[in-house]
Amino acid sequence: MADAVILVSGGAAVTPYTDPDCAAGSGLAAGNTLTALRAHLLDRGVRVFTAPARLGPGVVERDAGWQGFDDVPLVLPAEMTVNAVGAIDDAGVALAAFVRWVAEQHGLGHVDLVGHSMGGLFSRAAIRELATDGLRVDHLVTLGTPWDGAVLGDLLDDEISEADAHGDPATLQILAEVRPYAAANSEGAAAEVSRRFLRGWNERQTGVLDDVPVTAVGAGYFAAATEPSQLWPHDGLVSLRSGRADDVPAAVLPRVERHSFPDDVHSIFFADAFGLPWERALTWDPRVFAVVDEALRM
C-alpha cells in the first residue's frame, strides 16, 4: 500500500491544495470535483492530498465560481499549480513538481494517483516526469479520463458533429455549448482532448505505464444511440469507451482493469444540469469509491 494518495482534478477545474489536516475553510473543502472523494478517503484513514489547479497560470487562493471555496490555508507557488486549461505536458510538469514537494515535506516514498477527467492525462504526464526521481507511483486510477478523446475535442476536430447526436436533446445541448466553452478556455486543453491528438500523444507515452497498474473507470448516462463509438454512450464529456481506455493499445497500457458506470455522469456540474443527485457523478458516487478502494487495496 502506498504512503499516500494524491487526487488530481481535470480540465477547467479549480482545486485548492489540501492535506490530511487542512482544506479550504469555506465552501467545498477540496473544490467541486474532489471534495466527496477526499472525505471518503479521510474516513478510511488514508493520507490524502489534492493537487492545486486553476484556470490559467498562477496560484489558488479561492474559487468564486459555481460551488467554489475560500479561506485556503496554504497557497502553493505557481510552478506547483496545474494550469487546468493548458497543455497536458505542461500540466504534467507542474503536477510532478507538486508530487516531489509533497513527498519531501511528508516523507513519502511511493504514492497512488487518482485523476478525474483530464487529471488522468495530467497524472500520466507527471509519471513520465517522475520516472528518474526514485519516487514510485504504485497505482493510477482514472475516473472519466479521455484516454481516447472527449466530446469537446472531437467536435472541434470534426471527428463528430451535431448530426451524431441523433436528435437527443441532452447531447444537442451539450454540443451547443462546446464551441463557446473552448473559445473561453483556449490555452491548449480543448485542442488536446480530441481522439486524433490523443492517439499520437498516447503513442509517445509508450513505456511510461509499464510498471504502473491502472484502473480506468468510465460512465455512460447519455445513451440514446450507439454510433459513433467515440460519442455513444457518454457521460456528458467523455464516452464510456474512452473513459475505460478500451481502444488504447496494450503497448501504452499493459496493465489495466476496466469498470463501467452506465448511469453516472462526468461531474456534479452535469448532475446538477440534468436534475440528477450529485451521487450520480463519478467523483461523488459511493459505488465508484468502492472501486477506488479496491484498486488501491484499502
Distance CA 156, CA 255 (A): 31
What is the percent of the chain where pLDDT is above 90? 92
pLDDT score of 214: 98
Coarse DSSP helix, strand, coil percentages of the chain, rounded to the nearest 5 percent: 35, 15, 45
Going from the C-alpha of 139 to that of each of 84, 211, 254, 269, the distances in angstroms are 22, 9, 13, 27
Are β-strands 4-8 and 48-50 bridged in parallel, bridged antiparallel, or unpaired? parallel
Which pairs count as long-range contacts for 279-285, CB under 8 Å and 24+ apart, including other chains? 280/221, 282/116, 282/143, 282/144, 282/217, 282/219, 282/235, 283/33, 283/34, 283/36, 283/37, 283/116, 283/143, 284/36, 284/37, 285/261
- Residue 187: what pLDDT? 64
pLDDT of residue 1: 77
Give the mean pLDDT per block of 10 residues along the chain (298 residues): 94 96 97 98 97 97 96 97 96 98 95 98 97 90 98 94 97 93 75 95 97 98 96 98 98 98 98 97 98 91
The strand pair at 26-27 and 69-70 is best described as antiparallel
Structural domains of the chain ordered from first start? 4-150+198-295 (3.40.50.1820)
pTM over 0.95: yes
pLDDT value for 76:
98
Measured CA to CA, the distance from residue 234 to residue 172 in angstroms comes to 13
Query: What pLDDT shows up at residue 37?
Result: 98
DSSP annotation of 77 reads: P
Torsion over CA of 19, 278, 112 and 104, rounded to 10 degrees? -20
Residue type, 77: P
